[in-house]
Amino acid sequence: MQGDFRALPSVDRVLRSGHGADLATRFGATAATRAVRAALDEARAAVAGGGAAPSPEQVAEAALARLRADRATGLRPVFNLTGTVLHTNLGRALLAEAAIEAATEAMRQAVALEYDLDGGGRGERDDHVRTLICELTGAEAATVVNNNAAAVLLALNSLAGGGGGAVISRGELIEIGGAFRMPDIMARAGARLIEVGTTNRTHPRDYQAGLAEPGAVLVLKVHPSNYRIEGFVTGVEVPALARLTSAAGAPLIHDLGSGTLVDLGQWGIRPEPTVREAVSAGADLVTFSGDKLLGGPQAGFIVGRRDLVERINRNPMKRALRLDKMRLAALEATLRLYREPERLADRLPTLRLLARPLPEIRALAEGLRGPVAARLGVDVEVTVHSCDSQIGSGAMPLETLPSFGLALRPRDGSPDRLSLALRQLARPVIGRIADGALILDLRCLEDPEGFLDTLAAGAAR
C-alpha cells in the first residue's frame, strides 16, 4: 500500500475550515458530516494509489459537490424542442398561469377540500369542479379521478365488475404507452371481455350479437388514440350504438381518451369530437383526460348519467383514485378558462402552442440561427429547417402541424453525440434526430433568451 494516510485531514478539521463551516450552515451538520466522510473515503482510495492527500479545503469542495448533486431534483426543467407538444415523457400539458397560482395557493395553506362551509360538516371534494364540468360538457353528473386509465378502470369495475360482460369491437382493443392494454384493464376491472367484429370492420349486428350473450351488461367504445385504421373500414358511430344499447338496457361507455371541450377547427386544427358532442350523441358515460387537449393537470373525467355516476362514486376504489387538493385547484382554474373561449388561445399554453402561427415560428428560427451557430462553434452547421410538429399523447396520431426549427449537423457526422451534449446542459435541450441532423423544432420555444443563455453557459464549460 502506498501513500501517507496521516496527511489526510480529519472530519472535524474539514468541518472547521472556511468551506467546511459553510457546508454545515447551508446543508445542516448531519448532511455535511456525511458528505465529508464520503469525500475522505474517496481521498483515502486516491492516496492508497499513490496520490497526494488533499487539503481540508479541497475535501470540503468535494463534499460540496456531493451535497449539490444530492439536492438536485430529478424533475429538471428542459427545453422541449422535440416537435411533440403534448409529450408524455416530458410531462404533457403545460399549465396555465391561473392553474399554477391556484395550485400554489392550495399548497401554501389549509383549504376547504372536504369541508362544507355552509353546514359545518364533511363535504365532497368533487363538488369543487362538478358544476363546472357539467356546464362545459352538458352532462347530468361528473366525477374525477387521477387519470383517464383510472376513469376507465373505475367505470368498468363499477358497472361490470364480478364478471359482467363488456362488449367491445376488436378494432378498439388498443395498447398505448407504458403497456396500457385495454384487454388487461378490463380483466383487472373484473369485466369479462366480449369481442365483436373484426380488426377493420364492425357492424351493428356484431354489437347486437354481443349484447345477446349471457351476462353482457355494457358496451365500451374506445377512441383509437395513438393509431388509425384506414381503407376497408366500417365502424358504428355513437348515435347508432346508443340506440342499440338503449334497446338492450345496457349502458354505453365512450372512452374519448384525449378529450377536448372546444372545437379546435377555429384555430386551424383538425377537429376532434368534443366531450359535449359525445354526451349529446347518446353515450351514457364519457371518459377523457385532463392533461392532453384539455390543457390541465393529470386527471381523468367520468361524465354522463347521474345514476351511473352515483354508482361509480359509491365504489370503494374511488377513494384510491381521487385527486389531491393541488390538482383539484389547478383543474378548477383550468376549467374556468373555458368559460371565456374568446381568450382561451392566449391563456391556455397547450392551445397557444398548437395554434402558434407558422410565420412567427419561422421568424424565430431565422432570428436564432446565427446566435445558435455562434454558441455551438464552427464544428456544427446550423440551418433553418422546415419540419412537422405532432400534437402527441395519442391525440390525432396522423395529424401534423407545419413548423420550423433548426437543423444542427456536426462536421464529424455524429448528431447522437451532439444530442447527448445538449441533454447534459444545465437545462437540457431535447430535440429529435432525423436525416443525419439534430432537429430542434421551435414550436414550443417561448423563452429564446433562456435557450441562448443555456447554450452559452454550456459552451463556456
DSSP 145-162: ESSHHHHHHHHHHHHHTT
Would the pLDDT of 145 be above 60?
yes
3-class DSSP assignment, residue 221:
strand
pTM (predicted TM-score)? 0.87
Residue 48 contacts residue 312 (beta carbons within 8 Å): no
Q: What does the pLDDT read at residue 1?
A: 42
Burial class of 114 by CB neighbour count within 10 A (0 to 12, 13 to 18, 19+)? middle
Distance CA 391, CA 258 (A): 11
Which sign does the torsion angle of CA 93, 97, 99, 105 carry?
A: positive
Residue 456 dihedral angles phi and psi, to the nearest 5°: -65, -40
Least confident span in 118-132, 151-165, 214-228, 332-346: 214-228
Helix, strand, coil share of the chain (percent; to 5) = 45, 20, 35
Least confident span in 41-55, 283-297, 394-408: 394-408
Which is more confident, 366 or 1?
A: 366
3-class DSSP assignment, residue 136:
helix
Would the pLDDT of 226 be above 70?
no
- At residue 220 the predicted structure's pLDDT band, cuts being 50, 70 and 90, is very high
Q: What does the pLDDT read at residue 188?
A: 93
3-class DSSP assignment, residue 5:
helix
Class of domain 79-88+354-460: alpha beta
**Region 97-345: CATH code:** 3.40.640.10
What letter does residue 51 receive in the DSSP assignment? P
| Residue 286, all three cell numbers | 364519457
Q: What does the pLDDT read at residue 385?
A: 96
Beta strands in 206-297 (DSSP E): 216-222, 252-257, 285-289
Q: What is the pLDDT of residues 4-53, one digit of tens each?
A: 788 899 999 999 998 888 898 999 999 999 999 999 999 999 888 888 88
Would the pLDDT of 68 be above 50?
yes
- Of 346, 344, 366, the residue nearest 442 (C-alpha): 366
Q: Degrees (nearest 5) of the Cα angle 230, 234, 240?
A: 135
Which is more confident, 259 or 92?
A: 92
- Of 386, 399, 385, the residue nearest 354 (C-alpha): 399
